[in-house]
Amino acid sequence: MKKFKGLLIPLVIIFIWCIGSKLHIFNDYIIPSPLTVFNTTLELIKSGILIKSLGVSFSRVFIGFFITFVIAFPMAIILGMKKELLPYLEPFLEFMRHVPPIAVIPMLILWFGIGETSKLAVIFLATFFPIFSNTLNGVTNYDEKLLEVGEIFGFTSTDKFFRIILPQAIPSVMTGVQLGLGYSWRALMGAELIAASSGIGYMIMDAEQLSRPDIILVGIFSIGILGYLVDYIFIKITSKFVHSYGREVDYGRAENKKAVQEL
């Protein structure tokens, strides 16, 4: 029953939308009927425009997110292990964290044009800090007592990192990745609306110039549904991974406490 509670508000909105369109309460030029939007969706799927646009946008998000993770994750790990480096980078990172990626788009267009590089740069700026900040928080907020136990058992620095620090940091890392995925979609849509010749954002902008609100709504719904599915799949996959790590950490804590008592 709980699974269906989330459908209540969308169904109510669709019902009001249908009634409003049927009674001509809504102007069809501004808010097209659900049937019109549905038929437009089928047309865009048959023509391949919708699938192609979503494919282009999804590939940009995937590539941009992958590049960001490869840079942000190890950087956070290094700074977490070498805390003496933080004072040198913290002012710059804090400055960049407060600059909206959309505000940088005009400069990126001047530097790179409206090609893929500028869009990937926007995704990088939007995704970097959620991943970096959460990973850094995870690797710096560990249980000191577990490290002491690790030293008793003769753990090397590498052992302590991979067997104590990293497992405890995994939930924070996954939170950052999830937030980064959401931010990457938002940033990409902004970039495609401003400067693009392909993608779902471009399709929406082109529909606005052609006065096609039905296509605009199809684009908006497609972004929301695809983003929700990506987030849902990510949570399902990572929850098992995090749960597995959590059990290992809990088991390790119990064993370590027992060992300390015996000592």
Asked if 131 contacts 180 with a C-beta cutoff of 8 angstroms, the reply is: yes
> What is the spatial distance between Cα 32 and Cα 217, in angstroms, rounded to a whole number?
9
Burial of residue 98 (CB within 10 Å: 0-12, 13-18, 19+) is exposed
- pLDDT of residue 255 exceeding 60, the answer is no
> What is the spatial distance between Cα 25 and Cα 112, in angstroms, rounded to a whole number?
46
Residue 32 lies in a domain: no
What does the mean pLDDT of the chain come to? 83
> What is the spatial distance between Cα 135 and Cα 9, in angstroms, rounded to a whole number?
35
Asked if 100 contacts 90 with a C-beta cutoff of 8 angstroms, the reply is: no
- pLDDT of residue 173 exceeding 60, the answer is yes
Helix axes 166-194, 49-81, angle to 10 degrees: 140
**Domain range for 161:** 50-249
Number of domains in the chain: 1
> What is the spatial distance between Cα 219 and Cα 110, in angstroms, rounded to a whole number?
28
Predicted local confidence at residue 89, as pLDDT: 87
| pLDDT tens-digit series, residues 12-48 | 998 999 998 888 888 888 889 999 999 999 999 999 9
Q: How many CA atoms lie within 13 A of 138 on its CB side?
A: 25
| pLDDT tens-digit series, residues 77-120 | 998 888 888 888 888 988 988 888 888 888 888 888 878 888 88
- pLDDT of residue 55 exceeding 50, the answer is yes
- pLDDT of residue 157 exceeding 90, the answer is no
- DSSP annotation of 154 reads T
Residue 128 lies in a domain: yes
Residue 5 lies in a domain: no
CATH of the domain at 91: 1.10.3720.10
Residue 232 lies in a domain: yes
Please give the full DSSP string across 52-78, using - where no structure is assigned: HHHHHHHHHHHHHHHHHHHHHHHHHHH
Residue 10 lies in a domain: no
- DSSP annotation of 15 reads H
Residue 148 lies in a domain: yes
Residue 133 lies in a domain: yes
Confidence of residue 262 (pLDDT cuts 50, 70, 90): very low
Percent of the chain whose predicted confidence (pLDDT) is above 70: 89
pTM, entire model? 0.79
| pLDDT tens-digit series, residues 190-205 | 788 777 778 898 899 8
Mean predicted confidence (pLDDT) in 130-145: 85
> What is the spatial distance between Cα 220 and Cα 32, in angstroms, rounded to a whole number?
14
Residue 170 lies in a domain: yes
